[in-house]
Structures are given as structure tokens and as C-alpha cells.
Chain A
Amino acid sequence: MADIAKTISVVNQMTADGIIENYALGGATAVIFYTEPIATEDVDVFVHLKPGGNPLMEFQPIFDYLKDKGYEMKGEHFYVEGFPVQFLPTGTELLNEAIDEANEFQLTNEVVVRVMTPEHLVAIMLNTGRLKDFLRIGVFIQHEVVNSELLQSILTEHNLAQKWKDNISKFQS
């Protein structure tokens, strides 16, 4: 089976080589990091791209870099060291902040991984608001990995406090 540390190592190298400015794992991958395994088909990597590029082809440097390294693309995924990886842009202040303030963990002796904080993940999932997002928020609450004060401040800052109040009963079943 593929080794996720090798996949993350490639993403770290992309940052070191200046292809991307910064990144953080998000989506189901990040939820899995903090809680238990839930179904996922890819590794979600949210990236800050280098400023100044052509906005219509902003992912081109990533494609070129990975193709040069021999990684294949299938659909919307790059297969990096055996794992399907989806590179995602950040379009909101919340996502930008989630990347900037991501936690860093030592995955192996050599590999550090950046993962969005549980509080940012909950705020993003609340904002997205799909059924599966609400189910994942429930998983976070059950595992007690969220700092309530920090979450409230993020929700207030990004105008999500009311949405939280309106939906809180759905997360506590």
C-alpha cells in the first residue's frame, strides 16, 4: 500500500521549490487526521499559489511540476506516490486563514505535515453546509477535539455564528 508520508513529502518539496506558497490538508483527510477514518476518495490539499501568475492558468505550475516528476493525472486528481491528490484553491478569507494558521505535525522523522485546525475545519464545513459536512462536524464534536472558545471566535469573525446557532441541534445527535 502507498505511504501517505511520501505523498506529503512531495507536497512539502513543492513548497520548498517555490511552486506553491503554502498548503494545508483540509476536507475529509484533515478530519481523519484528528478523528477516526471516514470514507474519502482523495487527499485534499488546499494551496496558496504564488502571486502574479496568469489567473486563468493558476494551477499550471503545479501540473507542470508534477508531470515532470512523472506523476499521472486522472480526472481531477494527481496520483502522487500512490494517493489521488486534489489541489484546491482558496477563495475565501476563511480558507486563507485556515492555511495560514494550520497546525504542523511530525508525520515521520523527516516529514512534517500541515493540517487545518479542527476549529477552522468545523467553520469551513459549516459554511459549505452539505449533509456530509454536518455529519463530519458531529464526528468532531463526539471526539471532543474542538476548542469551543476558539471556534466561537472564528465563527464570529467570519459571520457564521448565526448559522451555527441555527444548526447546532443537527450536530449533537
Chain B
Amino acid sequence: MARMTMIEAIRDAMDVCMGLDENVVVFGEDVGYFGGVFRCTHGLQQKYGRSRCFDTPISELGIVGVAVGMAAYGLRPCVEMQFADYVYPAYDQIVSEVARIRYRSAGQFTCPIVIRMPTGGGIFGGQTHSQSPEALFTHVAGLKVVVPSNPQDAKGLLIASIEDPDPVIFLEPKRLYNGPFDGHHDRPVTPWSKHESGEVEAGRTVTPLGKAVVRRAGSAVTVLAYGTMVHVALAAAEDAGIDAEVIDLRTLVPLDLDAIVASVRKTGRCVVVHEATLTSGFGAELAALVQEHCFHSLEAPIARVTGWDTPYPHAQEWDYFPGPARVGRALIETMEA
């Protein structure tokens, strides 16, 4: 198996899908000739031609709006929002159109599109290049929401998303593009090319949507995480010396509730971690589900470690980011509760 960065894995997924299905088209801002500001579509226009991979005007609403029409025709658009922070002009199209076309037309029309977007902070991107808006999409009936944490999953989940008959919001933790950043911002990050998790299967490799995976088996406490926070949680468990079971959710909708319940019933404790703001974040949904399904197994209150309820700051990035120290404290407190 070859080692790839997450960027290369994402590109490979689109390459594989475009090669297998002529109806897959890729477009977005700077996506065509240049290959994307993060280089995720590099070479696709050259390989598949301008009518299948092209640049668009700076209009997220327009990108998603034309994708809806294309999907109604029968294409499978995989579009890029340059940053998740830029998706809001397209929000009406996503919520009122993309998510509901199948339902409201009783299946006469469907909307099998993928909306890719780099998410999360850790790159000193300030308010407009750091947000984690996943909960704005998990709240919308009709969407699927995916957040990979490594190159293999990024490829496998993206192929599954492009092949899925329903619309998928595909959030790419940009801090993981080049290596498994674990929140220790003062230490160098091992690049994926030198990391065993950088191994990516060649060709059409599919990671099914709706299946979580245990990244670290443990018996003391369950940590529910996704994206960058998976690596932060692993580091926190290591640093705090706690035998945590770290679950990488991979897909938020549909959610692998069985995996969550099985783990929490075993450990009796649960810490939920995400980078997004606290209030009405996806962690609230996770905490509610855990108490509904595991109440009699719980030995401690469910803890949430998240970004603060402020806009994502610039200079104070590491005070905002829920790093391994904060997660570690929560693990210890949950064990002592």
C-alpha cells in the first residue's frame, strides 16, 4: 500500500470515481486549472477535461444551486466549498433544496451530491478559516454528514459519499491534511508519509457510511470524537495515563449508535469531544443519546470538551482549541466523579 497525505487520498478518491463513472463532475472556486487552494483536485481537469472539472464564479449558492440541477438531470456532482466557513451563502440551497428534493418529489428527483469543505482550526486561520459547522448540517433531515480522521478513511468515505444516492456534507479537517495533528501545537507533526496511518489502499476502496471505529480499546472511559479530535483524544489518554476507549465516529449522520452504546455500557463513563462551539453542538446530541440508551450503566456525568462559545479567535487559537490538556483534565474528572 502506498502512503498518501489526506489531500492525496481525497484527490485519489475523486480520481477513482471520475474514472469509474462519467456522471461524476467536480467543480468549485479555484478547483479547475489550479487544482484547489489545498490542491485536492490537482490534475483532475488535465485528466478528465474542462467539462468534468472546472472553476466556478465565487458564489457558494451558485455552486450548490447548479449542482442541484445537475443532480436532477442525472449527474453526480462533487463540489468544493473553499472553506467550511464560506458555506453559508449556500445554506438555503442545502437546507431547503438539497436535503429535501427526494422527499418532496416522492423520489421523482434525487440529489446525490457531495459538498466537500475543509473544516476546523489549528492553522491560525482566524474566524473565517477555522469553523466547524457540522451541527448546522446534522440538524437537517435528509443530509448525511461525514468527518474523516485519516487518509484511508478520507478516501474510503469520500468514495462511499460520491456513490451514495443521497446528499453528503463531507467535512475535511484541514489540520489533518498533512499529518495526524494531536493538539500538541508546540511539537512537530509526523507527516502522513512517515506514519503508518498514512497507508491507503489503491483503487476503489469503500468505507461504509454509518460505521464508527474504535481507535484505542480501553475499559475506563469512552471518548466520542471525530476528525482532528480523534488524535487529540488519543494523545490526552496517553498523557493522562487513562485507559480510555477512543471511538472515531467517522459519520455523524447516520450515526453508529450501536458502537457508542456497546462501549459506554462497558466503560460506564463518557467524554464527548469536538472542536465546534459547545451550545447546541453535536456533542449535545451525543450526550443526550448516551443518557437515553446507557443511563443505567453510567457511573459519572457525561462530560463535554469543546471549543468555547465565542467566534474562533486568531491570537488566542490555543486557548480556544480543546487540546490534549483540557481533554485529559476531563478524563481525570470523569474518572474521579
A binds B: no
Chain B residues proximal to chain A, CB less than 8 Å: none
Give the interface of A toward B (CB within 8 A): none
